[in-house]
Amino acid sequence: MKIIHTADIHLDSPLIGVKDAPKRRQELLQAFVNLAEYAKNNGVQAVVVAGDLFDDEFVTEQTIKSVAYVVENSPAQWFVVKGNHGSDKPYQQLQKLTQKIHWFGKEVVCYHLDGATICGKELDKNSATGWDFSHLDSKQFNLLVLHGDVDSDAYGQIDKRAIANSAINYVALGHRHAFQQVKFGKVLGAYCGVLEARGFDETQQTGFVVVDTVQKQVQFVPSHIRKVVSKQLDVSAISNPAELQNAILDCVADVAFQNYLNLQFVGSVEQKLDYKLVAQTALQGKYFALRLQDDTTLAVDVEQLKNEISLRGEFAKLCLEEPNPQLRKEMLELGLLVLSGGKPQQ
């Protein structure tokens, strides 16, 4: 049989700082609908949600009803671990709306399907106990669902030794927002990542995992409505705004307009231009979200500059009195920019 492993969907996330947050929240729900459609169209018999289906504090009644509707109209069986976002209320509401979801508790709970067993456990500060897998049939494909960090007990301890010594075949993990395989001895596990990026910190490819219990294969399936695309532009040889604008447009020419664009300016320059202003003017309205990073450095010999008989030379001497290297660098770059007639970037 085929099982989908997903997690960290965070429906109704507030998306603070996203200009069109309501639209993006609707797209997170659409990604969940798309997942159910994939399951229906590809013979998937079970969907495992390894935590954080909702952004609990913010989830609306309409979204909970939408999830119930999707589950009720799905031919697959659904298995949900709540995760670590605090409130049980949205999950309690969901339980009242549909009986098709299988839930897990503080002790390991197992559900037996045709050829597979799906087990799960909610982690908390007392989760160091209750890791008995002795009843599992090694002739079955055994899948364990958990939401937590394998390298930290902050969200509850995961007994890695108990898992490694068990008949478990795969551990479906949630909490980390990027696809990552994990080993518990010989037992394979994975963080499936997220269905959709919610901000510029989620730069990894999004999607979900499909587990084939017959072939004992685990496949990451890429999926996205929008994605975060990062580009780096070396501006070392660029000397004027017109040239900079052309370089920016060439650099991002292959980035689809519906995506998040993170553009980083790098290089060593003799005189800084207003990189962010030029980029904002050239790219305004073209992308769903835009982040600009000026990581250029000023190519200046301070020891030589301080010997100039000029305002720049006097300013360089003052900067050299600052003991903090990072602060000294920032003071020098900002001061020389102003002295050359430029304006500090906002």
Largest CA distance in the chain: 85
Claim to verify: residue 207 and residue 273 sit in the same structural domain: no
Give the residue numbers spanning the domain of 233: 228-339
Bridge partner residues of 211 (DSSP): 3, 218
Claim to verify: residue 123 and residue 248 sit in the same structural domain: no
Q: Are the beta carbons of 31 and 10 closer than 8 angstroms?
A: no
pLDDT at 87: 78
Report how far residue 128's alpha carbon sits from residue 78's, in angstroms, rounded to the nearest whole number: 26
**In-domain check, residue 158:** yes
**In-domain check, residue 163:** yes
Claim to verify: residue 165 and residue 247 sit in the same structural domain: no
Claim to verify: residue 260 and residue 127 sit in the same structural domain: no
Claim to verify: residue 232 and residue 192 sit in the same structural domain: no
Angle value at C-alpha 196, between 231 and 294, nearest 5 degrees: 25
- Note the pLDDT tens digit of each residue in 71-113: 999 999 999 999 876 678 999 999 999 999 999 988 899 999 9
**In-domain check, residue 346:** no
Of 125-139, 158-172, 207-221, minimum mean pLDDT range: 125-139
- Among 222, 242, 266, residue at a domain's last position: 222
pLDDT at 267: 94
Claim to verify: residue 250 and residue 306 sit in the same structural domain: yes
Claim to verify: residue 213 and residue 238 sit in the same structural domain: no
Nearest alpha-carbon partner for 1 in 294, 201, 197, 217: 217
Q: Are the beta carbons of 299 and 268 closer than 8 angstroms?
A: yes
Which two structure tokens, joined as six digits, stand for 269? 């320059």
Question: Which region holds residue 310: left if phi is over 0, alpha if psi is between -120 and 50, else beta?
Answer: beta
Claim to verify: residue 217 and residue 235 sit in the same structural domain: no
Domain count, the chain: 2
pLDDT at 339: 75
- Among 173, 201, 222, residue at a domain's last position: 222
**In-domain check, residue 345:** no
Claim to verify: residue 157 and residue 209 sit in the same structural domain: yes
Q: Is the dihedral of CA 92, 94, 96, 102 positive or negative?
A: negative
Report how far residue 287's alpha carbon sits from residue 327's, in angstroms, rounded to the nearest whole number: 34
Bridge partner residues of 109 (DSSP): 120
Q: Are the beta carbons of 110 and 119 closer than 8 angstroms?
A: yes
Residue 31 burial (C-beta neighbours within 10 Å; 0-12, 13-18, 19+)? buried
Across 256-283, average pLDDT: 93
pLDDT at 181: 97
